[in-house]
Amino acid sequence: MGEHPVDLGLDTGWTSATRACMAILGDLPAGELWTAVDRAIAVHEHAAVDRSVTMPGATQFVEVTADRPTAVVTLLPPDVAAAVLARHGMAIDVVVGRDPVVRPKPSGDGLRTALELLGEDAATAVMVGDSSWDAAAARDAGVRFVGVHAPRSEFVDVDPQAPVCSSLADVLLHVSR
């Protein structure tokens, strides 16, 4: 396997191990091998739920936006994402997680799926994200993007015009527009 390096995708603040796992899953076709790799990774993701830490301001952000349709589009499996959200007491309308038939971020397929499930239009949606993969997914889906909790350099190659906020409280100012 060492002959052909795996394309880890866009640079991001994630570890190379995380990027490699997501790149491998993204390259595998749906089927038994994808499922086996997904399950092997998910064991570790499930084990980490109790150690998950809420992004500062996330609970308040979810409360303030409770009157709006909300979705989480994640590289986690849906059941792990639901467990994390439940652990932190966050009610979200739609969770689109890792799926063998929905291309993962940086593709915008997960966002398009979320918009369809919410009955919303990309032109009025806003994606809040903390990685270059989030910015790329938003661009691919035609959704406005706001970066948070990452340096501007995380997003500049994908969306140099994207507002970048240091807190979710600041994001609310951009989401309201």
Specify the CATH number for the domain of residue 139.
3.40.50.1000
Is residue 118 assigned to a domain?
Answer: yes
Residue 111, domain extent: 51-175
| Banded model confidence at residue 4, pLDDT cuts 50, 70, 90 | very low
Is residue 167 assigned to a domain?
Answer: yes
Is residue 171 assigned to a domain?
Answer: yes
The CA–CA distances, whole Å, from 7 to 15, 61, 160 equal 14, 34, 23
Summarize pLDDT for 37-87 with one digit per residue, the tens: 999 999 999 999 999 998 888 888 888 888 999 999 999 999 999 999 999
Is residue 3 assigned to a domain?
Answer: no
Q: Quick one: pLDDT at residue 34?
A: 93
Amino acid identity of 9? G
Which residues touch 50 (CB under 8 Å, ≥6 apart)? 87
Backbone angles phi, psi at 75, to 5 degrees: -85, -5
Q: How many domains does the chain have?
A: 1
Is residue 123 assigned to a domain?
Answer: yes
Q: Quick one: pLDDT at residue 103?
A: 86
Predicted model pTM: 0.85
Summarize pLDDT for 98-153 with one digit per residue, the tens: 999 998 888 999 999 999 999 999 999 999 999 888 999 999 999 999 999 888 88
Helix (H) or strand (E) holding 136: helix 132-141
